[in-house]
Amino acid sequence: MTLDLIDVRDLVGHPGMSKTQSLTGTVEALGTELARVPEDLPIEGDLLLESIVEGILVSGAVQGILQLHCARCLKEFEQPFSVPVYERFVSEPDPDADDYPLEPDGELNPEQMIRDVVGVELPFSPLCRPDCLGLCATCGGDKNLGECPGHQQIDPRWDGLEHVLGQLDQ
């Protein structure tokens, strides 16, 4: 179920009036490679819609679940989120402003607002836990599970020194 349009005809043009509105719905394709909002789980929230001279001020918070992949070990995990909302909807938005458009028939569409406020909060490099050891670069084993036996790696910049040391031993 996608997000429904919110009828604000009773608020438009009546500064000082307000009402609360519950929000429940899904948003498609909201995420990155490592963090996304599942399309089958709803985003929910309680919003306060206030009529102001310029249009409608929307405030409150939206909550949901993020599906994440750890940036170190690639393990999939879920994490709840709650994001504050404080946005303005106007009849004729200025292209240089951060306002959202009110629909001509007195409704507002919350989808782009939700995409913007949740999208900014998506973690760039999520971790399954702060001390995640990640995957071994040599064998690909998960170091958290002890799947990597340990490999002695020599920095390739020292290869020349190894050759010199080999000549000194002779």
The 3-state secondary structure of 127-160, one letter per residue: CCCCCCCCECCCCCCEHHHCCCCCCCCCCHHHHH
Pairing between β-strand 76-90 and β-strand 100-101 as defined by DSSP bridges: parallel
| pLDDT value, residue 161 | 76
pLDDT in tens, 55-85: 899 999 999 999 999 999 999 999 999 999 9
Q: Is the pTM of this model over 0.75?
A: yes
| pLDDT value, residue 166 | 67
| pLDDT value, residue 167 | 64
Give the Cα separation of 135 and 119 in Å (integer): 27
- Reply yes or no on whether the pLDDT at 160 is more than 80: no
